Each structure stands twice: as structure tokens, then as C-alpha cells.
Copies of this chain bind each other. A is one copy, B any other.
């Protein structure tokens, strides 16, 4: 894969800018009544997110020969789902987090009730936005709505959170299959759907859609395993956050279940699998290849 002319930093900067513009356009203004609700929605939506999911949607559309503009609605929709899930995750009855990326969380600023409702409203907005996409020859708008609803629902995103809550503080409940299931549901599913919706917006072939599904699942899983490894092996200084937190909080991790050597091998295998899945796109897959390496080529 030729990448001589490709600059990931520039790519991320330009695509982030387009995502920010589209989100700003697609969220009601702060002055829309009720103002406190729309302020709360915007507070969390513009709180420094990396926009990984929408950028994956745009990159997938490009890999399938489509234009960025065709994938902006799905890109905004997946970011609405991601942000709503973070707002609800941070609530006192869930993880009870006061800060996220150095910014006070939604309920700290606007109160629990408004935060709960801001999350609910972002979920509804996600479906309002995806329903505005005209669809393509191979994929109807309804198919895109189904993809987003299924991934957001009780079997995937929300199911994963429930499984994770069940196992919290009791790693004995978590075997290898369960841990994989949690990672697939909580992380891989929405990454994969972001890629798939971008591809659908670009009228992808079945082969392209399958390749992106494989890339998304392997990338999400590898990313989580690498996170687990780094938490156990790196210094807090190098991580940029408290190291060894998983062991201290009794969290089930890949190294704890499979051992360090096997975990590293699995991370490497999944990274290869993810990047190999992109071969079908040839040069058009360059951006995704770089994003994949950026996420997975960490020093573990």
C-alpha cells in the first residue's frame, strides 16, 4: 500500500474540521427552546471528543469510492449515539464520573435530570439525522436506520454495558468468552457500524462492506487488548493516566485471563487481521490503513 504522499495528521485535521462543521449545523442552536436542554446537548457534544467514529465513517465512504459529503449524516449520527452513551455512562447511577477529557461532565454542569434528557435527546437526534440520508442503490435509508438501531440496542452497545456492570468488581464472573463479548459489544460494534454506515452511504459492494466489518471488529478488539496490556505493563507517566488501575479495581482483563504472552500474540494477530482486511481497497484504503496503525501500533 503506497502511502508516500499520505499525511495522517493533515487527514485527521481536515476530516475533523468537516465533522465539527456538520455537527454544529445538525445540532439545534443553544437558543432553541428549551435552551438548557440544547446547551446540555452541545456541552457534551463539543467537549473535546476525538471524533474517531465519524472519521471512520468518512474514511470508509472514501475507501468505497464515495464522497465525504455523502457520509456526513451517518458520521453525525454515530457521534450522537457515542456522546449520548458517554453522558449516560457518566451519571451517578452508572460510573459517576465528574470529569471527562478535562471538562466537567454533563450532569455536573446541568444536573442529573437534564443530563439524562440530553442523552435521550441525542439518541433521538441520531435517528432523525440518519433518516435524512437518501440511501443509495444498494442500501435503503431503512437499512441504515436498522444498522444504527440494532447496534445501539439491547444486544450490542447497551447489552455490553449491562454485561460490564454485572462483572464489575467480580472478575471471577468473567471468562474468556464473556470478556470478548463485552469488548465486541461495547467497543467494536459502534466502530464497525460507523464504518459500515459510511460504506453504505457510498453504495459499497458486499465485499467492501464485509471487509470493513472485519476491519472494525478486529480493530476494536485489538485496541481493547492493547489497552489492557499497557495498563499492566507501562508506567502511569508513559500512559498519561493511572497505570495498574485494572488490577487495583479487580477488573477482568486479557492478560489476567490469558496471560501476557498470549495477549500480546492475540493483539498482534488481530492487528494483522484488521490491516489485511483493507487489501481489497488497494490505494483507496490508505487512510483507513493509517488510522488502523495509529490506533494499534502502540509500544506493547
Contact = CB atoms under 8 A, between A and B. Distances in A.
Interface of A: 28, 32-34, 36-38, 41, 88, 91-94, 111-114, 116-117, 119-121, 123-125, 127-128, 130-133, 135, 140-143, 145-146, 148-150, 152-155, 158-159, 161-163, 165-166
Contacts of A155: 28, 32
Given A34-B166, A112-B93, A132 B154 contact: no
Nearest to A33: B159
Nearest to A111: B93
Contact of A93 (B113, B130, B140): B113
Dominant SS at the A interface? Answer: helix
B38 A165 contact: no
29 contacts: A32-B155, A33-B159, A34-B159, A34-B163, A36-B162, A37-B162, A41-B154, A88-B116, A88-B117, A92-B93, A93-B112, A114-B165, A117-B162, A120-B123, A120-B158, A124-B150, A124-B152, A124-B153, A124-B154, A124-B158, A125-B154, A127-B148, A130-B145, A131-B145, A131-B149, A132-B146, A135-B142, A140-B142, A142-B145
Copies in the complex: 2
Given A28-B154, A145-B142, A154-B28, A94 B116 contact: yes
